[in-house]
Structure 1
């Protein structure tokens, strides 16, 4: 029976609120993008007007993707123009790029990537930090992929060959999301003729992809001084200098002077701000159809889409977004961007003639293919994408096909399958014995099955390992296998900080790798991982399809499942107890009222956001410890957004005042504060502040000491009593308190509820103020679709039987 949970008896907290915070004023913004994890320390984005003036690409953005890096919940409506109609330069350009947890982080109101290189988690620090080692591995991967592709004689299988220069295969830096007014409101002179102006930048100054993650390197004082000078001349804050050099390189000053709209490549900068900057530098020589502006906008729209999980966008969507930014001829703008290599063009579906296929691989006239298809032929969808995501998807599809076709089946696994702890574990072992790639799906209890597979493979003398999304997941996997050497985090494995290291060929010394939390795997990380596996190695992707997707672009696990490119094992092991019963129902779109005699699930109705904050603090500090003997430090608060009267910021402030009051003498933190550290995009590492000194802020992250340099604290550390569901994905706590204030209704979806409600192991309290919106979200609001190409690439690959 489906029922509204607000009537569930046995509320843990019974005190009457005494100090409720005032509810938000009428018309105040609620969390529009409900679960975009926050950018720690990011400057407030000027000009957020929820739902107003969003381009089509942004309007289609999923609320469950962490790539949304802005504080959408509490941005001030109406201050979106960074430049006035008189052509003033933007005075409010964000002074720093947010750090993605992505993390999105998850994905971030989201956490965008640091521009000066992520910090290493390991201590003492190795010669290269974990993040630097991962970036080095990605650079090596890019070189190997390019060499392999250059050696190919035949075209790429799906008829979707790459064109243009391949950008660095690095994690995308997440820009701050904001809602802006139409670009035409900035210009104080009439728009120029429809034909785009194309004053070309200096020949030696190639255009860079927006927000491409830089390789960590030392920044010269001369480069910083030169950029500061240009920024000041254009009316932008000097504080953007380091981020600009990080995004654009040592030649940033020359690039910005020749093409001021390349400022859009700096995290946190919006089109209106780049317009003001360009106006200040170029004066009347620029207009809304300037070729430099339109090219930058195309890249910016695609980068924004990537923050929402898309690896490509329909060409019509891009054109509509450009039209909303006052571009007079969107068709010409798209053609020009393709010609310049800012975007790549692909065709999905249908069969093209040879000349059309060539056009679809990058020629300007290929943009109109969808409209020109003949009536008796299958419609062709034309997609635009950034080259680094195209490279990652092509590489990943090739790599997965290689694993499928190169699998060796020498070992006898029958005895191991016969001694498996359950039928689903036995099925997984038998399937992995016969296939190089396997997809395994199931809930929390089903994680025991990959653990059994790893133990069985190691018993056969194979080099088997499990990789998880979080340190918490690693500990749980190690406990399930009984051997700490069997579990690593995915980030630690890729960086070389954990795991067996590389063999003489540079590949991971593994025969079997099981990736748990596979829905959190983005396409770029997946490409790096698969490229690092040797021929003959087995890969098992295991996870719960119902949880929120990855912080980065792509939907790797979902695409592998949908393509049927490999055998699939669906666990029949149910999650136990009232929490498991509740979450299982949510997974199929039903919100059941469950029997919880031990108060495992408790509903706490509230009237407004102020009461929600009060009751949340009461539950964490008093009621849950008293009723379940679970300390406050082991109870995690999860809420829909970062802003608003009951977002993570407000809840963290209230919880700190109650649980660990102090002056915040270490950059806003005190010893004992619960925090989350974001060492790299899409990664959230919980920790506790221990101390601070000249080297930086010292944290204890699950028993691992971490030192965050002083200049990185503001951008990569935030209080962690309250998280978004994206940030909490891949982790569990003894107790979870999920906060649903009234203004959270728009941010709810079935994956969000499924993820948040499943984070508590022994107890779940739901601070409920959204009335029937919760049941509606579970029944009728599925995951937002992401536009990707991986599924079609996998479907186009020959099967092992066909290949033979």
Structure 2
């Protein structure tokens, strides 16, 4: 590990963003402090904000399609994916509605928990709950039967229609009257639908349904429209802020919030009676409540069906949005189906054993897959050779075997392991998004299931609950699923921690790879994974530490490394070097770094929304997804990009929301891809954003060389040794309990 001396040569500081640079979205112009933040990059609770700037999860929300429509004649990959997910969710919801079993309850409740449960039951009966009601708990829900598979529509659909111009105009008038930016009109019309202007007049706090708007802004809008009728204890305000907090929690990775956490957050937002606000939200069907039984500390784990009659057990009450509740329950049911059904018998036991014996370190994985419908595989970059060997062995046995990676870069790297070259389209290898949308993969059978026998999902920690639910629901009966990934990486940008929850549940075989990542970089990253920041010998300058005093010097040295030092010393060109920093905001965030790098590497006037041909960009076709690309040209159709070898046209009305400059990324954006060289920037103001998973993810994005622009002082070793992943609240562990093996 080499440490460079401080820079002594006087050079001009890289320039500031040009006047033609793109703004950070309409919502941000409404909130100069960064509206829509969910906290720092890894799942802060609602109300917390990152000193380093916007969180990656909030960035995903800010780049979401606002529903204004797409004028291009061809449907984009993102539109196809979103339409397919809507179709799949409708199917899942229909299936859930057919169930007669009540939501599982653990025991008798008292106090606020009993009031809340009674409120839920009152809603189910069609009545509005009283402020305080008491009732006996419902019996525990039995494990759901194996779901009946129904035919699924083809994974294509028309792009959503843009809001009618008259609707947008009427919304614009209401926004102007309330003092809100009229530029929010298209988003408000898309979010609220027909009659959006009337809805805003009747309930001004519906403005919170627009991404990036904060409660204090909605309060000002309501005061302007309602006048003296506006009050902090308004029932409409309580419901809207409750839903907003749950949405912010989802941006931070939670699928639900515990009741005390939610009521405390409501109190911080000035809601006088938080309990009543939650009950009203449940009464209107805008959120759902759940109670999950907890095991007492020190007591042996028990399955729910082993509970003694009349025995009371502690429970926790959770409140969440319906979409994530449905996704988690659907995921749990799909996993149960895989675990409890026998895999399709493709090949004899002797043939599987011969394949395992010939596969070296992948033998254990192949044996597990031969006998089980669900298998977990853990390991670093080098361990990908084992899923590759599994895929080849399965194909040799006659299985229709496919692999799906998180990103196009991951797809290309895995294809190279299979000996098929890093091409954009390789038979048997797809991206998760392409597989779900139907743009890639084997297609669907007559029953609507994916036409395959084995699916290996790479980068499994990046699966959020919705994507994971869609995948499991799409697998045919008798199929095998392997989830493979590095558990030390950052969790998904979307809500949930599916891979970590499954590893903790121990409901299926877990195969840990013993193949270490090679070289000084592999040694460094492996140490970080176990909480150790070690000095490593780097004779070929594989790892270089560049100390800096402040953020300005960090930007200056970063530009120097990318443009001069790394190409000259290592032969890695600037376009193959990726800069990674903790957040979008701040003096050394992605915005500042991208402005400086553009000025040095591809200066230009930014004629099209701040972009010029040759600019490196980060394109977000859907929330939580990012594809690196390069600007090719711009014309009347929009911004033409080249992303992972594919041509993409982004209509001009969507450029501001879905395209950012991409010389510098956050770690969440960079996960799933690797570059020959990486420059990780750690400014002093990012100290609180650093965690062990963040450092592990950022440092492991480099193949040959890693430069660390280090201004965080002791915050870096402290993050590695003392700061584990920030917790996420999910229901999946409780839903998986019936599948856990019995203990004597």
TM-score by length of 1: 0.79
- SS of 2:2's equivalent in the other structure is coil
Q: For the residues of structure 2 that align with 1:70 and 1:721, how far apart are their CA atoms?
A: 28
Q: Give yes or no for contact 2:638–2:650 (8 Å, CA) kept in 1.
A: yes
Residue in 1 aligned with 2:597? 655
Q: For the residues of structure 2 that align with 1:215 and 1:407, how far apart are their CA atoms?
A: 39
1:113 pairs with 2:105 = no
Q: For the residues of structure 1 that align with 2:701 and 2:30, how far apart are their CA atoms?
A: 30
1:536 pairs with 2:487 = no
Deviation at 1:637, TM superposition (A): 0.5
Q: For the residues of structure 1 that align with 2:439 and 2:258, how far apart are their CA atoms?
A: 39
Q: Which of residues 11, 30, 51 is equivalent to 1:19?
A: 11
Q: Can you list the C-alpha shifts for 1:91-130, whole angstroms capped at 9, x where unaligned?
A: xxxxxxxxx9x853xx62864422126879xxxx885432
CA distance 1:543–1:380, shift in 2 (3 Å)? same
Q: Which of residues 355, 365, 370 is equivalent to 1:433?
A: 370
CA distance 1:126–1:46, shift in 2 (3 Å)? closer
State the superposition RMSD in angstroms: 3.2
CA distance 1:447–1:118, shift in 2 (3 Å)? farther
Q: Give yes or no for contact 2:52–2:689 (8 Å, CA) kept in 1.
A: no
Q: Give yes or no for contact 1:67–1:306 (8 Å, CA) kept in 2.
A: no
Q: Can you list the C-alpha shifts for 1:406-438, whole angstroms capped at 9, x where unaligned?
A: 232522311211111x32x11111111111111
Give 5+ residue unaligned stretches, structure 1: 1-7, 25-37, 76-99, 167-194, 197-213, 352-374
Residue in 2 aligned with 1:46? 31
In the TM superposition, what are the counterparts of 1:157-556 in structure 2 within 5 Å?
216-350=160-294, 377-410=312-345, 411-412=347-348, 413-420=352-359, 422-423=360-361, 425-483=362-420, 484-556=426-498
Q: For the residues of structure 1 that align with 2:556 and 2:656, how far apart are their CA atoms?
A: 27
CA distance 1:332–1:165, shift in 2 (3 Å)? closer
Q: For the residues of structure 2 that align with 1:399 and 1:633, how far apart are their CA atoms?
A: 42
Q: Can you list the C-alpha shifts for 1:193-243, whole angstroms capped at 9, x where unaligned?
A: xx99xxxxxxxxxxxxxxxxx982232112112211221222212111110
Deviation at 1:313, TM superposition (A): 0.5
Question: Matched residue pairs, number?
Answer: 674
Q: Give yes or no for contact 2:51–2:689 (8 Å, CA) kept in 1.
A: no
Give 5+ residue unaligned stretches, structure 2: 17-22, 108-116, 125-130, 133-157, 296-309, 421-425
Q: Can you list the C-alpha shifts for 1:66-112, whole angstroms capped at 9, x where unaligned?
A: 9999995477xxxxxxxxxxxxxxxxxxxxxxxx9x853xx628644
Deviation at 1:41, TM superposition (A): 7.7
Deviation at 1:267, TM superposition (A): 0.9
Q: For the residues of structure 1 that align with 2:101 and 2:46, how far apart are their CA atoms?
A: 39
- SS of 2:427's equivalent in the other structure is helix
Q: Can you list the C-alpha shifts for 1:554-596, whole angstroms capped at 9, x where unaligned?
A: 1111111111121111111101000000000000000000011
Q: Give yes or no for contact 1:65–1:549 (8 Å, CA) kept in 2.
A: no
Q: Give yes or no for contact 2:63–2:658 (8 Å, CA) kept in 1.
A: no
- SS of 2:580's equivalent in the other structure is strand
Q: For the residues of structure 1 that align with 2:697 and 2:634, how far apart are their CA atoms?
A: 34
Q: Which of residues 574, 578, 581 is equivalent to 1:636?
A: 578
Q: For the residues of structure 1 that align with 2:671 and 2:431, how far apart are their CA atoms?
A: 14
- SS of 1:452's equivalent in the other structure is helix
- SS of 1:445's equivalent in the other structure is helix
TM-score by length of 2: 0.85
CA distance 1:671–1:164, shift in 2 (3 Å)? farther
Q: Give yes or no for contact 1:70–1:108 (8 Å, CA) kept in 2.
A: no
Residue in 2 aligned with 1:84? none
